């Protein structure tokens, strides 16, 4: 009996070559964009001590309570977790290597994150984020810069249907005052609370405002507002962020219910949302986390950052029809005959020397069957070499897309001619 085929883990996706091209294009665009704001790349391990995430994200959050892939290292018994997000690891690395010793740091990373969620469109168990963190910066110009950065990226990508929501969570003292009022309010309606909310009522009531349960929305709308408890410094900070956004004509909405799903945020929080992706409409989210560095054991330092979900961003791009077909190949080289085979291999190397992307046909077959492969290869041109052409030191160039004549060219002029035709578009 043959073995049954194995499947990928549910919620963890293969990204096949056609789609991966889009990812590469996106990653190139993002890298240029980050360079243009002076952000530098950092790469952390995918696995960290479980304690890091518990301490950073907060014990009473969706992520830590039910979404982490945690396991015991069978060799030494260490408690480990596949990273569910990048900020905690990034801050851990910055502290461990003392990166804030001389200067603040603008850093970014990208890669897979792991959360044990119910898989659905836009929600996966392995998904990918680009994370951007400014560490050691306390002033509102950085919060605003990060929001402006996002707006620039959407323009660069051609995204239209995203809107910006912002809020402020104030500082610790204001949150404490608000927390007491909120608990008192929610206690009055204890029988309207769902299971999550009841559990969080005394541990993390602010999180209840982040609930997506439709049955709770009315209750949440009537809850005491953190905005009413803010102290002056936090108000001034929030106003300064807004005034920079206005100066740059960035449109935003203040959403007092925006609290974010992680504990470490304070002051400015923001989300970029779209209504084109159903329930999974947040493509990018972040904010200030001035207390986190100290909480993880570093010297106190302010910070602000955000992360975007690559799967959601790319599906929004596709939804908006902004994705153009990307060709990975310039030339598909078709060849048949002993002399032709030898020449084609040399020719392919010469064309690559000239900067062209060339697939050399392998596996033999008739001209007809090779031309079929050329057609489906996404190449701009087929280059055909038979023994006659090889003898004459020539090759036939056939455009595969658009119109354009078939040309017989001398081997020596091929690279230049093809490059010229590609430049013309």
Residue 424: CB minimum distance to ligand ATP, A: 40
Q: Which is nearer to ligand ATP, 236 or 279 (CB)?
A: 279
Instruction: Between 117 and 387, name the residue whose CB sits nearer to ligand ATP.
Output: 117
Q: Which stretch binds ligand ATP (CB under 6 A): 70-78, 178-186, 307-315, 362-370?
A: 307-315
Is residue 159 a contact residue for ligand ATP (CB under 6 A)? no
Q: How many Cβ atoms from other residues are within 10 Å of residue 249's Cβ?
A: 7
Question: Among residues 81, 105, 110, 129, which is the contact residue for ligand ATP, using CB under 6 A?
Answer: 129
Judged by CB under 6 A, does residue 124 bind ligand ATP?
yes
Side-by-side strand order, sheet with 253-254: 40-41, 105-114, 126-135, 303-309, 282-288, 266-273, 163-168, 253-254
Q: Whose Cβ is closer to ligand ATP: residue 31's or residue 116's? A: 116
Nearest-angstrom CA–CA distance, 276 and 161: 8
- Residues 96, 68 contacting (CB under 8 angstroms): no
DSSP tag of 190: G
The answer to whether 123 contacts ligand ATP (rule: CB under 6 A) is yes
Of 48, 263, 311, 330, the one binding ligand ATP by CB under 6 A: 311
Residue in 31, 91, 32 with CA at minimum distance from that of residue 57: 91
Closest CA relative to residue 315, chosen from 19, 3, 17: 19
Among the listed residues 142, 283, 351, 384, the single contact to ligand ATP using CB under 6 A = 283
Only segment of 226-234, 280-288, 366-374, 396-404 that touches ligand ATP (CB under 6 A): 280-288
- The stretch among 120-128, 149-157, 166-174, 344-352 that binds ligand ATP (CB under 6 A) is 120-128
CA distances from 234 to 135, 172, 179, 287 (A): 19, 10, 17, 13
CA 140-141-144 angle, 5° bins: 90
Question: Per rule CB under 6 A, is residue 261 in the interface with ligand ATP?
Answer: yes
- Residue showing the smallest CB distance to ligand ATP in the complex: 309
Instruction: State yes or no: residue 137 binds ligand ATP (CB under 6 A).
Output: no
- Reading the block at residue 285, the tokens are 């989210």
Residue written as token pair 């439709």: 214
Q: Which is nearer to ligand ATP, 130 or 383 (CB)?
A: 130
Which 3-state string (H, E, C) describes 246-276? HHCCCCCEECCCCCCCCCCCEEEEEEEECCC
> Contact between 85 and ligand ATP (CB under 6 A)?
yes
Nearer to ligand ATP, 149 or 235 (CB): 149
Q: Which residues bind ligand ATP (CB under 6 A)?
A: 85, 115, 117, 122-124, 127, 129, 261, 280, 282-285, 307-309, 311-312
């Amino acid at each position: 009996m043959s073995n049954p085929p194995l499947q990928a883990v549910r919620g963890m996706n293969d990204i096949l070559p056609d789609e991966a091209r889009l990812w590469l294009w996106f990653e190139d665009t993002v890298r240029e964009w980050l360079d243009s704001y002076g952000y530098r790349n950092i790469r952390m391990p995918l696995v960290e001590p479980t304690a890091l995430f518990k301490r950073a994200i907060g014990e009473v959050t969706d992520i830590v309570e039910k979404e982490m892939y945690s396991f015991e290292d069978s060799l030494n018994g260490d408690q480990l977790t596949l990273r569910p997000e990048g900020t905690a690891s990034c801050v851990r690395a910055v502290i461990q290597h003392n990166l804030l010793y001389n200067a603040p740091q603008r850093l970014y990373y990208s890669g897979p994150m792991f959360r044990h969620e119910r898989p659905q469109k836009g929600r996966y168990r392995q998904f990918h984020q680009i994370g951007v963190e400014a560490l050691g910066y306390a002033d509102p110009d950085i919060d605003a810069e990060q929001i402006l950065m996002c707006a620039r990226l959407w323009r660069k990508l051609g995204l239209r249907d995203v809107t910006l929501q912002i809020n402020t969570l104030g500082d610790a003292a204001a949150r404490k005052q608000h927390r007491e009022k909120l608990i008192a309010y929610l206690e009055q309606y204890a029988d309207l609370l769902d299971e999550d909310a009841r559990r969080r009522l005394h541990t993390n009531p602010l999180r209840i405002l982040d609930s997506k349960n439709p049955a709770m929305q009315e209750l949440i709308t009537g809850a005491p507002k953190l905005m009413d408890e803010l102290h002056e410094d936090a108000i001034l900070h929030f106003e300064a962020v807004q005034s920079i956004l206005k100066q740059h004509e960035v449109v935003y909405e203040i959403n007092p219910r925006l609290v974010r799903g992680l504990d470490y945020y304070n002051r400015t929080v923001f989300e970029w949302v779209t209504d084109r992706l159903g329930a999974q409409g947040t493509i990018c989210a972040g904010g200030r986390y001035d207390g986190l560095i100290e909480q993880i054991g570093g010297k106190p330092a302010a910070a602000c950052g955000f992360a975007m979900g690559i799967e959601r961003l790319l599906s929004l791009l596709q939804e908006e029809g902004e994705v153009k077909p990307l060709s990975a190949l310039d030339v598909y080289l078709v060849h048949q005959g002993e002399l032709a085979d030898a020449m084609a291999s040399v020719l392919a190397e010469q064309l690559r020397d000239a900067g062209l992307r060339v697939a050399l046909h392998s596996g033999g077959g008739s001209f007809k069957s090779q031309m079929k492969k050329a057609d489906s290869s996404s190449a701009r041109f087929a280059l055909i070499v038979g023994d006659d052409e090889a003898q004459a030191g020539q090759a036939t160039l056939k455009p595969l897309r658009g119109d354009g004549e078939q040309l017989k060219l001398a081997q020596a002029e091929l690279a230049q001619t093809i490059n010229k035709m590609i430049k013309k578009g």
